[in-house]
Structure 1
Amino acid sequence: MKIAISGGTGFVGKRLVEKLKRLGATVFVLTRGTEKTVDGVQYITWMNGKHTIPELEGIDAFINLAGVSLNEGRWTVARKNDIFKSRMDTTNEVLRIFDSLSARPKVYINASAIGIYPTSTTAIYTEQSVEVANDFLGRTVSDWEQKALQAEQLGIRTCLARFGVILGRDSGALPLIALPYKLFVGGTVGSGEQWLSWIHVDDVCEAILHLVNTPELYGPINFTSPNAKRMKQFGKIVGNALHRPHWLPVPSLALKLALGEKSQLVLEGQYVVPEKLLSSGFQFKFSSLEDAIIDLYKG
């Protein structure tokens, strides 16, 4: 199997590349860095005006994980512009590459986010939900998905992987959530009633491979555990795993002052169900948050 990945040096991308190598796949990573081959993985420079990338002829799947991180830096006007523009620019380049190929990939998996759904403490969202959040994240994800879906016009099965809060020990949201507990000042964030739809990074990689190998899946696909947790429950589970108390509340106002608009990532949330993954037979390795946190902090 031949698979190309943009964003292959990021949090999810690195884990996915390692998994594909173990499975014996031929992996191409599109990078802005130097072209090289390392441990069998070919790194190809892109976003540099190169008209064609012949190595991508006849690949089985293209996975687009590229984009400026939501978790880094304060959401200034300039930062938000970078977040939006990076996603649109890389997706435009992916589409241009597809158009240049005579043998196009069988499937295109484009990263997306559950931030497309409006925040709510009562609603439950599946891929059938059509509501779109009228905020920066909602508008960004909606425009990004509409751009990615243009690949369908080229005859390519297109999947929109709507990532929830991805949990990894050293990257993603978990280190930020766990830090107060490590300092013995952990507690409920905001009201604590907000939902956190999470997923273990290993399940993200497995679900991506599931999309590659399941031709009937296309369109929006929620990448979340079947068991979302309210923030107050999530915090207690993290505290227990780290053997730290869950006692010092973090007021919403303090987070808004510290993080600005980005505070919505932890102060607001959605209950999102991975209906398509479940109905297509995907089995989560970590459907329990307790098991996921224990796995990430074991050893």
Structure 2
Amino acid sequence: MAQSIHDFHDDPRNASILVWINGRLVPRAEATVSVFDSGFVLGDGVWEGLRVVGGQPVFLDAHLDRLFEGAKAIALDIGMDRRGLERAIRETLAANAMHDGVHLRLMVTRGVKRTPYQDPRVTIGPATVVIIPEHKNPKPETLSTGLKLFTVHVRRGFPDVQDPKLNSHSKLNCITACIQATHAGADEALMLDPHGFVATCNSTHFFIVRKGEVWTSTGDYCLGGITRANVLQVCREAGIPAREKNFSLTEVYSAEEAFCTGTFAGVVPVREIDGRTIGDGRPGPMVARLQGLYRDLVQRDVLVRAGEKLA
């Protein structure tokens, strides 16, 4: 049965979490926003997903960089600075007594409108800021058995149509890709760029391994992935040849290994693409090595952030 890379085993503690909404912590069942909110009306907003390890939001600086860059690109005033957002995140984690095995969604929309219309000038209030923390870990079976991908007809488009660098609430193209992959019996959609080269997946980034080299797309038609960048970093540090380049499905099908990256699950092997078994269909040695190197990088970031908090 197809599954999402974001699948997790339900945790009963999530039923009673407190959600941060515009400075207030409210029970999950009461966590609501207006039907006139820009995010609900038109998907007008930006967001970030973060993991919490050892009490620390991992790679927080990179996530806040991307959030503020996206907000500036769409002329959205978040109404809070970086320190304020970090305080809100830590307040939310403390109120929920959360320390490990946590995934957190930080969402910002343009705010409430006086009428349901796209023009930002009909917004009548400040931005809506929401922080949803959940006890959530990727399924171990996903990490051990790997994913099945299907190449969909939905493309990652040119930046003058909708810039793929924007981590916006408007994700309909990715949702359409996800639907097609699900109907094909796959776990995740593999998406091409306008030129027919491999770009990314619908909710993760994509890599292959060929002759000891790690390849990923040029990055021109995908989100500036933080886990993607971190994998490229650990490759450089470990002396593993890593290339950002154009490559085709022909080169994908004959790869020795393939994997996806994302904040939630880290580095996840891919066992099959479009009915072709990748390698021997099991996680390979490069994926195992990169999973270990990525875990080490996470721990380094946790120690740095913990030290900054104590200083």
Please report the TM-score for the alignment, with normalisation by the length of structure 2.
Answer: 0.26
Structure with greater strand share of residues = 2
Structure with greater helix share of residues = 1
Please report the TM-score for the alignment, with normalisation by the length of structure 1.
Answer: 0.26
